[in-house]
Amino acid sequence: MQGEITKYRDDLGFGVIMTDDGRRYRFARKQVVSAAADLVGQEVDFILSANQPAEIIVMSGSPWTAFGGIAGGP
């Protein structure tokens, strides 16, 4: 699925993703596999697991930054 991070609280480590169809999903920072300095406003791609976002990838930056946080990568 694709969406945009509309809210994120760094002090709590939780945020909200709004998808293109208007649905909202709450996520934890640990679910983001690629790093971004400021998560709010970032376009993301993710999968749903038990109706929760998982394997969230920030779509901005280069492929090295997008996939650099995945365990087992080069």
**pLDDT, tens only, 14-73:** 999 999 899 999 999 999 987 677 899 999 999 999 999 999 999 876 555 545 554 444
- Considering the domain boundaries, does residue 74 fall inside one? no
- Can you give the pLDDT at residue 57? 92
User: What is each CA distance from 36 to 44, 45, 48, 56, in whole angstroms?
Assistant: 11, 14, 21, 11
Pairwise CA distance, residues 45 & 66, whole Å: 10
Output phi, psi for 66, to 5 deg. -65, -40
Q: Supply the pTM of this predicted model.
A: 0.77
Q: Which residue has 């920030």 as its token pair?
A: 58
- Considering the domain boundaries, does residue 72 fall inside one? no
The domain containing residue 28 runs over which residues? 2-67
Pairwise CA distance, residues 55 & 48, whole Å: 9
- Considering the domain boundaries, does residue 56 fall inside one? yes
